[in-house]
Amino acid sequence: MIHPLAEDFSTLKDTEVEEKLQELSRKYWQANNPSVKQQIAIFIDLYKTDIFDLIYSNKVDYLPEILIEKTASTQQLETHAELNLKLFEQLDVDQAEFDAMCQSDWFMPEEYQNMDIEGFLVNQCPKQNYQRLTEELQEFRSRNMIDILRVLKYVVDTLRDKNVLWGVGRGSSVASYALFLIGVHKIDSVKYDLDWREFLR
């Protein structure tokens, strides 16, 4: 078998190495072959360098580019070794701003990022249930949660593609008709007269 990581990284710039490692991480999660996954994991670990390895290998110039956890050890190292370390500090953003930043960058394939999930749901929905679906989608939009529906569609499609079984339904999510249409659960919340507000409180 050809090693999936045969490329020589030593000729690449730091930004190119980072891109390659991100690509390898994606390949790791997509790989079905355990031996390929193991090879990818070993290769990625080689590039997760400890800061002390950098110091002992005389590569201290790289240290300012690495975000380092602020601990007693790293603070002492910075003080006594006179190194210019970039220590992790608490972000100066409120929770709403941080949530917005996180929700704007979902880990899913581009085809799902660009998917018209509302159009998909409307096509799946019987006409007599349009009103119910419209109410839910309006609430998802008002909370800026449409991307969650895209992620869930990606997860469900991936589970189906890999022949993975999941439960009938759990908790208040079964009150969502949109999640039923996506396939997250098997409970028809319209049939059983479940209020979507139990889920989107």
Place of tokens 């390659």: 20
Instruction: Go through the chain and tell me how many residues it has.
Output: 201
Residue 163 carries which side chain, given as an amino acid letter? N
Domain boundary among 55, 87, 119: 87
109 & 190 share domain: yes
pLDDT at 26: 76
pLDDT at 2: 34
The tens digit of pLDDT for each residue in 60-110 reads 666 666 666 666 766 776 676 666 666 666 667 777 787 777 777 788 899
74 & 127 share domain: no
Domain boundary among 36, 52, 87: 87
Domain boundary among 87, 108, 134: 87
83 & 130 share domain: no
Minimum mean pLDDT range among 27-41, 53-67, 93-107, 159-173: 53-67
pLDDT at 177: 96
62 & 118 share domain: no
Residue 1 lies in a domain: no
Minimum mean pLDDT range among 36-40, 62-66, 149-153: 62-66
Residue 138 lies in a domain: yes
Per the structure, the count of domains in the chain is 2
Domain of residue 71, residue span: 9-87
Higher per-residue pLDDT: 100 or 171: 171
pLDDT at 92: 73
138 & 72 share domain: no
Minimum mean pLDDT range among 8-12, 38-42, 54-58, 139-143: 8-12
C-alpha pair distances (Å), 63 with each of 22, 66, 83, 126, 167: 20, 5, 8, 58, 47
* Per-chain mean pLDDT for the chain: 79
103 & 178 share domain: yes
C-alpha pair distances (Å), 146 with each of 48, 121, 137, 149: 35, 12, 8, 5
74 & 154 share domain: no
pLDDT for 200 beyond 90: no
